[in-house]
Each structure stands twice: as C-alpha cells, then as structure tokens.
Amino acid sequence: MTQSKKLAAEAIGTFSLVFAGIGSAVLAAGVPNVGIGFMGVAFAVGLSVLAGAYAFGSISGAHFNPAVSLGLAIAGRFGWNELPGYWIAQLVGGAIGAALLYVVASGAAGFTLGNFASNGYGALSPGGYSLNSVLIVEAVLTALFVVIILGATAKTAPAGFAPIAIGLGLTLIHLMSIPVSGTSVNPARSTATAIFAQGEALTQLWVFWAAPLVGAAAGALIWKHLLASSKR
C-alpha cells in the first residue's frame, strides 16, 4: 500500500471518529428527553472506531490516534519513520472533523458553543476531577487500550475479530472515564475539539498529549516484555 493511501486512510478515519463519534456528544448527548447521555456517547465512539478499523485496517492499520501509533512503534509493529506522517494525518483529519462539526452545531437555534466536548480537569472535567485524577485515568486507560490493540491484532489472535475487541474496549474506556476527563486517550481527538472550545481547553491540552503518550509507551512495553508470545 502506498504511503499516500495510508495517510489518507488515517485522516479519513480520524475525521470520522471526531465528526461522528465526538459529534454524538456535541449534538445528541444532552438533548432533552431523547438525548443519548454518556452511555450513548461511549458506544458511538466505540462504534466509530470499530467501523473504521474494518474499513481502513487493511490500508493503514486504522490507528486514528497518535498514542496508538507511538505504542505500535515501540512494540515493533509500526515503523518509526512513518510516525510523523501518521501524526500529521491524524491531526489534520481530526481538525477537519471538528470544523465541520462546528458548522453543523452552530446551525441550531440558540446555539452556544460551551466546551465543545473538549477534555479537561477541574472546572472542565464533567465530574470536577483533579489534574492528578485525570492524569492517572488517561495514562492507565491508554496503556490498557494499547494492550488490547496489540493482543487483538497478534498473529495468534482469532482472525477477523480485532476491530470488535478494539471498538468494545474503547467503549468500556469511555463508560468509565467520561465523567473524569471527558475521555481522550487520543491526542488528535483532544486537539481537534480544543481548537474550537471556549475557556481553558487549549491551556489544558498538554495533559491530553502527555498522559496518553506515556500510557501508550507503558502499554507497549508491558505487552512486548510480559505478554507477547514469540509468534506475535
């Protein structure tokens, strides 16, 4: 597969994750009487990644996430030389998704932007959680997510089921952590929404780069040295 096709797949997949998955939080979560709530958002994000993994996995590996790309590189599943291009494609795709989502959201009568489903701690945390709580949750859950991905895509894993495990894993992560941080585990997702959010989302964005990247590295090392079989 050519590099340009891989980067296009990453951009489109990340666009879908932000526009449809995060769009569920912006457009549908809080609608009176018919809103989908936190649980609906969790499933929407998980389903967007599940569908994207089936659609683009054979082209780019369906990372859609700078932390996942880093973890796969550390685990030896992805070339370090490809990492910068993937990060750029993911950031561009996510930003376009957020921009188009903003256009749609601003078309509603009485539109107010609010935090635009951005991630944060303190006043920006849905449950008012502290910086330490958010750092722990984001790092640990990103590590878990990377372990799930590496295990589900190992050569010894059942063929064809990896997207289901990955999508449901991400759903579980969101069910647990939306009240804490709004759930990132993905720097591209956090960057995309922070660009348009009001308040301190941009000044807190470093947390949602640092914690997922550290967590991804930890998850990759745990898999590589403790869990992986010699036939991976």
- What are the tens digits of pLDDT across the range 59-86? 999 999 999 999 999 999 999 999 999 9
Q: How many CB atoms lie within 10 A of CB 229?
A: 8
What's the structural domain count of the chain? 1
As a three-state string, the secondary structure of 51-80 is HHHHHHHHHHCCCCCHHHHHHHHHCCCCCH
Average of pLDDT values for 47-60? 97
Q: Does the residue 97 lie in any domain?
A: yes
Answer whether 146's CB lies under 8 Å from 224's CB.
Answer: no
The DSSP H or E segment spanning 178 is: helix 162-181
In 3D, which of 133, 128, 110, 105 has the Cα closest to residue 197? Answer: 105
Assess if residue 178 is contained within a domain.
Answer: yes
Give the separation between CA 94 and CA 205, rounded to whole angstroms.
15
- CATH classification at residue 142: 1.20.1080.10
Q: Which domain holds residue 70?
A: 3-227
Q: Give the model's pLDDT for residue 113.
A: 82
What would the pLDDT profile of 7-16 be if each residue is shown by its tens digit? 999 999 999 9
Output the average pLDDT for the chain.
Answer: 95
29, two tokens: 């979560």
